[in-house]
Amino acid sequence: MKLILVLLAWLPLVAMARPDVDQKLGSTLADTGSVYYQFEHFELDSADGQRHYRVRLAVPTRAAPDEGYPVIYLLDGNAVLAALQEEWLAELDQRGPPLLVLIGPASDLRLDVDARVYDYTPSPHPGQPLLEDNERRRPAGGALAFLELIETRIKPQVEARRPVDRQRQTLWGHSYGGAFVLNTLFTRPQAFQRYVAASPSLWWKFGLLMQIEQTMPADISARLLIMRGSDEARARTADAPPTEASRAMAATPGDAAQQMAVRLAQRPGLTVDYRELTGLGHGPMLAASILPALLMAAEPDP
């Protein structure tokens, strides 16, 4: 067991603003091309037909090793594709590049807010209707169904297209996506061997993830990286009317992610790293957390 606290001052991404949910995808490496990766995609719908996904594969130009490519599944796939840089792929090429699986909306938007709210958030009673909060009232709590989609429909299609090392599978997500990563670790830890939760929304439903954490199996063998920006502000605005979300954020300690890392590091078989990225707020953490996740996915097993 080990816990590594790393303070990073990193990247020009610090200047990025909070992502615009209406922003179009624009030109990406999938359009302009990469020396180190080639891109392909397939599409599918949710089981209830309400959400539509485009799954992009970034396939290394290097041949797969005998055991198959290590693979990283990245949520908010369109936003990840928009942030992806050729320099990152060049670094991966030198390390034994992983296969990248970007799961995003089947549209030209960087983010599909309604879909990610439903897909990425856990529920205290899976299968029962749940709303994001009393103000926005978006359907939520579909994390179990989304994980089932990944496990039974996305992974088989990926593995049919390219050889994959099933012992080196990584899952990355940011914000609500980070909550999904942790919920997967806590409820289905065998689904992946490596987990990266960037700025996870631990305040969701007044700390529901901390409750789910207590129910996780004892016999876990996995690696977890939790990242958070040093400038991530909790939503406490004195002149704004209180909302369910703002009350939940205010009730959650500012160091909740670090506290969780400390607790989880005590569990046998679970290796935990915590990194705080200096000068970054919640929005910029999406892009800033991608390269560390990619490098973790490329690391050989110890």
The residues carrying an active-site annotation are 175, 232, 282
Nearest-5° angle of CA 116, CA 118, CA 121?
90
One-letter-per-residue 3-state SS of 114-129: HHHHHHHCCCCCCCCC
Nearest CA to 189 out of 147, 145, 149, 127 is that of 147
Give 129-135 contacts, CB < 8 A, sequence gap 24+: 132/245, 133/243, 133/244, 133/245, 134/243, 134/244, 135/243, 135/244, 135/245
Do the beta carbons of residue 279 and residue 168 sit within 8 Å? no
- Using the 8-state DSSP alphabet, how is residue 146 labeled? H
Residue 81, CA distances (Å) to 28, 231, 258, 287 in order? 7, 24, 28, 10
Please state, in angstroms and rounded to a whole number, the distance separating the CA atoms of residues 87 and 294.
12
Please state, in angstroms and rounded to a whole number, the distance separating the CA atoms of residues 292 and 197.
11
- How far is CA 240 from its chain centroid? 30
